[in-house]
A = this chain, B = another copy of it.
Amino acid sequence: MARIVMKFGGTSVAGPERIRHVSRLVTAEVRAGHEVAVVVSAMSGETNRLVRLVDELAADIINSDRIVGGAVEDEYDSVVASGEQVTSGLLAIALRRRGVRARSWLGWQIPLKTDMAHSKARIAEIENSAIGPSLRSGQVPVVAGFQGVNERGRISTLGRGGSDTSAVALAIALKADRCDIYTDVDGVYTTDPRIVPEARRLNRIAFEEMLELASLGTKVLQTRSVELAMHNNLSVRVLTSMAEVDDVNPGTLVCHEDEAMEERVVSGVAYSRDEARITLLRLADRPGMVAKVCKAMSDANIIVDMIVQGISRSDTVSNLTFTIDKHDLEKALAVLESNRDEIGHESLKSDSNVSKVSVVGIGMRSHTGVAQTMFEALAARNINIEVIATSEIKISVLIDSEYTELAVRALHGAFGLEVT
């Protein structure tokens, strides 16, 4: 007998028929003798619908000088959290219909306590004094994901994709043996199967690799949920909710490095098209110049990702190239323009037709030659590398976005990822 937290995403609970199917998957684990707690997202599309309502009513609130009540994140949270409230109740009903004792739990009922940061709160503590005994008594708690309650008794939410984090945090609080994240894909792949049909589902992947993949554009798990699982050494399994109860459905186990080893150097190839590149030309080559640019971006809530300082023909000026999320490009250009005197660049270039392609693998720590293999594979296809960024377990390159698929396929092949 194990204690399991099962988490179901938006497409898994998209309507009554899907919710009934989820109730079958949960019932199977209960019948197998396990203690089961469930975490659910809102029906797919529902969170977006609620966000649109908030956006429509909050429009111009930031530009209006008549605002007394300040921001609206507290009310955003209260409105948007209703989506998970609905699915948790419906799944509890579906489970009872199958003869399983179940009840819904909202964030404030557990309580799942968070800090005061509305719309992107962090979990402070999960009380298990109410939900723990319920679980031990054989009842299945169906927890509304994504939501908590802060110390003022207001509803808070954990940010988009936050239900993954709810599930992992709950599994840790309940000392669960594992956390199963059910989604619309059947695991973590070596790369996007829409680009590389030979992409292979990984049986295991290390936390660190999953973290890099998550932050590099692989949208299977929310980054914070992986961090949390890693720090608490909780194994997380990613698997599909579309399978039937009797199907073989191993998914991918995200676990500690030692358990994850499959004697491979590179585990996956990730890509992101949400990139934009800015180059500041003929910048005065003075100490602190890079920090000044980064601070201007940071003050505007723009995250600078890759960054490289180029050498210029003269000794006293240089170029600075960095990348940001392409949705922030317009804002970033305005910030640079208004700080032009202080930064002192002569001119700037920007490009939003760029992609970031990355190879990730724990094995890179102990193997040399990964960079060489990567650069050769790209050079052989005449793909020009604009910027390079590396960490202990990943290498990312910025390229013209036209070459994205070609680059992903080339790297997938070069590292032999299609071979089992």
Contact = CB atoms under 8 A, between A and B. Distances in A.
B90 A57 contact: yes
A92 interface: yes
B75 A79 contact: no
Contacts of A16: 53, 56-57
Interface residues of A, number: 51
Contacts of A64: 97, 99
A33 to B, nearest CB: 16
A59 B98 CA distance: 11
A104 interface: yes
Contacts of A61: 93, 96-97
A32 interface: no
Contacts of A102: 69
A92 B75 contact: yes
A89 interface: yes
B75 A93 contact: yes
Interface string A53-83: 1101111110010111110101110110111
A152 to B, nearest CB: 10
Contact of A101 (B59, B69, B86, B88): B69
B68 A101 contact: yes
Given A85-B85, A89-B78, A97-B58, A109 B69 contact: no
Given A66-B99, A69-B102, A89-B76, A94 B57 contact: yes
A153 interface: yes
A121 interface: no
B20 A57 contact: yes
Contacts of A96: 61, 67-70, 72, 75
Contacts of A104: 75, 78
A19 interface: yes
Nearest to A17: B56
A411 to B, nearest CB: 46
Contacts of A74: 103
A179 interface: no
A108 interface: yes
A100 interface: yes
Nearest to A106: B78
A22 to B, nearest CB: 11
B100 A68 contact: yes
Contacts of A103: 69, 74-75
Interface of A: 16, 19-20, 50, 53-54, 56-61, 64, 66-70, 72, 74-76, 78-79, 81-83, 85-86, 88-90, 92-104, 106, 108-109, 153-155
Closest 10 CB pairs of A and B: A69-B96, A66-B99, A79-B89, A82-B82, A75-B89, A78-B89, A16-B56, A57-B93, A82-B85, A72-B93
